[in-house]
Amino acid sequence: KGCLERLRNSRDRLLNRYRQAGGNMPRRAQNPLLVQEVMEEEWSALRARDSCPEALTQLEELLDLAVLEEIQQELADQEQCLLSEYEKSLQFDECCLSVMLAEWEANPLICPVCVRFNLRVSGGVVTCPCGLSLSSHSPGLTEQKLRACLEDSINEHGAHCPHTPEFSVTDGTEEKPSLLMSCVACDTWAVIL
């Protein structure tokens, strides 16, 4: 755009010179001189701009600053998104922990096989995170009924033997797997479930 303006200005100056000289200059020589003059001016302007790169440097700094601000905003947005996801995850973990603590505090039924996790009874199926999974013969089995059955068996065994019995699960080759109570000291065993 600047080049076109200079070309027009140079043409106007050249026309004015030609008019003042009385038209002594041939027409063919006029155009090459005009182009040469404009090109020399442009070349001088470019050299001046290159030798004084402050304006270019300022422009680059502004562009760099804009890019850095954009990157900073993207990072802030990403950080906010991560914090939001972390807070949601933390709330979910707290909710799960509350549920687990409520179950544990509600007098849980500890698995007699692994003695680490709580048993769950649902639809007549007894399960434990340790891998225990037993289908009861009665679909109306509840945790209370299973607890009573385990307590009765342990109390009955404790009446004649001071040792603690162990519990295991049969492999279920005959029918379904069963929960067995056995004691090595008194050499007894009983089917609990």
> What confidence tens digit (pLDDT) does each residue in 15-65 have?
676 666 554 545 444 555 656 666 677 667 766 655 555 655 666 677 777
Q: What is the mean pLDDT of residues 152-168?
A: 89
Confidence category of residue 192, pLDDT binned at 50, 70, 90: confident
- Range 165-188 average pLDDT: 83
The pLDDT score that the predictor gives to residue 68 is: 77
Residues 91 and 128 in one domain: no
**Residue 88, pLDDT score:** 92
Say if residue 113's pLDDT is above 60: yes
Counted domains in the chain: 3
Range of the domain at 75: 54-106
Query: Do residues 140 and 176 both lie within one domain?
Result: yes
Same domain, yes or no, for 14 and 43?
yes
Residue 26 three-state SS: coil
| Structural domain includes residue 115 | no
Does any domain span residue 111? no
Cα angle 120-123-126, degrees, rounded to a multiple of 5: 35
**Are 185 and 140 in the same domain?**
yes
Are 22 and 83 found together in one domain? no
Assess whether 96 and 147 both reside in one domain. Answer: no
User: How would you label 27-37 residue by residue, b for 16+ Cβ within 10 Å and e otherwise?
Assistant: eeeeeeebeeb
pTM: 0.43
Distance CA 60, CA 62 (A): 5
Rounded to an integer, what distance in angstroms lies between the CA atom of residue 103 and that of residue 119?
11
Looking at residue 138, what is its pLDDT? 73
User: Bridge-partner residues for 104, per DSSP?
Assistant: none
What confidence tier does 132 reach under pLDDT thresholds 50, 70, 90? confident
124 and 136 inside one domain = yes
Average pLDDT across the chain, whole number = 77
Q: Which of 181, 166, 169, 167 is nearest to 132 (CA)?
A: 169
CB 190 within 8 A of CB 183: no
- Please report whether residue 114 resides in a domain: no
Tell me 129's DSSP state. T
Rounded Cα–Cα distance for residues 112 and 97 (Å): 23
Which stretches of the chain are DSSP H helices?
2-21, 27-51, 54-105, 143-160
Q: How far apart are CA 5 and CA 18, in angstroms?
A: 20
Check residue 182 and give its pLDDT.
92
78 and 45 within one domain: no
In a domain, 180, yes or no: yes
Whole-number Å distance between alpha carbons of 71 and 84 = 20
Q: What would the pLDDT profile of 57-88 be if each residue is shown by its tens digit? A: 666 677 777 777 887 888 888 888 888 898 99
My answer on whether 127 and 179 are in the same domain is yes
User: Span 107-117, mean pLDDT?
Assistant: 84
* Same domain, residue pair 58 and 46: no
